[in-house]
């Protein structure tokens, strides 16, 4: 009942914020373009002309009707690659965020509910917060990419590894937010009542606490998705991310840097898409945080 009221109140309060609403619409448009675009623009993003003479002719073309954003250094259509790259980037962000959120929520629930675990789990969180994340991730990519690639294929292997690496090093904010919420929930009357009638801890956690912590989880999700997309682009940019035949926005930027002086637009489009997405997610997260903050009313 209580969460129903908050849930009903969230949307009107979110809708009143112009910046967050604009961001939501722009992001929806971007996602629509990236997902439905390839259904309309049907050029194969991997197509490289097998005839070398024609291939050389197709390389580095300026924007035209046939290729609205031009072609890259191998004659592949940039628009098609940009859309495929967006799909991969967004998928990485979403799945990595879910992994981080899953770990973080679990640890936050345990730390908040069980006093005995709290100290240890929070110390673990502190240790993870001082890990050198990027160096460790590069090392993980280097060590496990080939082994995992042999096992489930290079593309899927990279995807699983990147998602896991980001999730394993990014769960701490979610854990802290959820723990704080659980700490305040566990002293409330309905939890005490559940405990008093003898409900076991797992049941209380699942049925009474978990449905009530979605507010911080939502905020952590928006934080997590932007940092995951950003981290993936950084890995790809350094050449430690996806294999060359699986473009992401970061990977396209990595390729664009080589041609930066002669074709700056190769840097502009993926950069613009990446920045716009991250900016929208940030503003949506901010809007959610405000809509959920009781002090704002």
Partner 1 sequence: MLSFLLRRLLFAIPTLALISALVFFMIDLAPGSPMSEIPLTVPPEVRAQILAAMGADQPAPLRYFLWVRQIVWSEPLHGLDAALGTSLAGDAPRMISWQSKVPVFGLIAERLPQTLTVIGGGYLLGVLLALPLGMRAAARRGGIFDHVTTFLSALVIAMPGFLIAQVLILVFAVKLGWFPSVYDTNLQVRDGAGLYRMVMQMALPVIVLALFNCAEIGRYTRAAVLEQLGQDYTRTARAKGLTDGRVLRVHVLRNAMAPVVTIVALGLPAIFGGAMVIEQIFRINGIGAALIGAIQVGDLPVIQTITFLYAVLIVLSNLLADLLYAVLDPRVVHG
Residues that bind partner 1 (CB under 8 A): 126-127, 129-136, 138-140, 142-147, 226, 230, 233-234, 237-238, 240, 250, 253, 257, 260-261, 264, 267, 271, 274-275, 278-279, 281-283
CA distance 176 to 159: 27
Give 18: exposed, middle or buried? Use CB within 10 Å, 0-12, 13-18, 19+. exposed
Q: How far is the CB of 101 from partner 1 (least distance, A)?
A: 19
- Other Cβ atoms less than 10 A from the Cβ of 38: the count is 18
Cβ at position 238, least distance to partner 1 in Å: 6
Please, which residue, 38 or 250, has the CB nearer to partner 1?
A: 250
- Residue 32 vs 260, nearer CB to partner 1: 260
Q: Which of 272, 212, 285 is nearest to 69 (CA)?
A: 272
Contact 90, 31 (CB under 8 A): yes
- CB-CB contact of 277 with 204 (8 Å): no
Residue 171 beta carbon to partner 1: minimum distance, rounded to whole angstroms = 14
Query: CB-wise, 66 or 143, nearer to partner 1?
Result: 143
We find the least distance from the C-beta atom of residue 89 to partner 1, in angstroms, to be 11
Give the integer Cα–Cα distance in Å for 84 and 249: 9
- For partner 1, give the closer residue by CB, 242 or 283: 283
Determine the 3-state secondary structure of 278 from DSSP: helix
Q: Report the nearest approach of partner 1 to the CB of residue 211 (Å).
A: 29
Which among 192, 196, 169 has a CA at the least distance from the CA of 113?
192
| Cβ proximity to partner 1, 139 vs 193, nearer residue | 139
Q: Which two tokens stand for residue 162?
A: 């990147």
Based on CB atoms, which residue is closest to partner 1, 75 or 270? 270
In sequence order, the β-bridge partners of residue 131 are none
What's the min distance (Å) between Cβ of 259 and partner 1? 12
Residues contacting 29, CB < 8 A, separation 6+? none
């Amino acid at each position: 009942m209580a969460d129903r009221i908050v849930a009903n109140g969230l949307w009107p309060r979110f809708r009143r914020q112009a910046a967050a609403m604009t961001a939501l619409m722009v992001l929806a448009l971007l996602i629509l373009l990236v997902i439905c675009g390839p259904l309309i623009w049907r050029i194969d993003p991997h197509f490289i002309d097998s005839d070398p003479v024609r291939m050389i002719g197709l390389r580095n073309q300026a924007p035209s009707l046939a290729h609205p954003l031009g072609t890259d250094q191998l004659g592949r259509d940039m628009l098609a690659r940009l859309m495929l790259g967006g799909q991969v980037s967004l998928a990485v962000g979403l799945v990595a965020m879910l992994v981080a959120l899953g770990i973080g929520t679990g640890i936050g629930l345990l730390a908040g509910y069980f006093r005995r675990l709290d100290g240890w789990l929070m110390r673990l969180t502190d240790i993870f917060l001082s890990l050198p994340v990027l160096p460790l991730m590069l090392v993980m990519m280097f060590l496990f990419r080939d082994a995992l690639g042999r096992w489930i294929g290079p593309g899927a292997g990279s995807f699983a590894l990147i998602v896991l690496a980001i999730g394993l090093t990014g769960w701490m904010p979610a854990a802290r937010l959820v723990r704080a919420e659980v700490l305040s929930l566990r002293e409330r009357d309905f939890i005490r009542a559940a405990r008093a009638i003898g409900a076991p801890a797992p049941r209380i956690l699942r049925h009474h606490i978990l449905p009530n912590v979605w507010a911080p989880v939502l905020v952590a999700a928006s934080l997590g998705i932007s940092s995951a997309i950003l981290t993936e682009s950084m890995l790809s940019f350094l050449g430690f991310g996806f294999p060359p035949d699986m473009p992401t926005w970061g990977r396209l930027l990595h390729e664009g840097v080589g041609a930066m002086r002669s074709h700056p637009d190769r840097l502009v489009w993926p950069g613009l898409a990446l920045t716009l997405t991250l900016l929208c997610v940030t503003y949506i997260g901010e809007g959610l945080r405000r809509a959920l903050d009781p002090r704002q009313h």
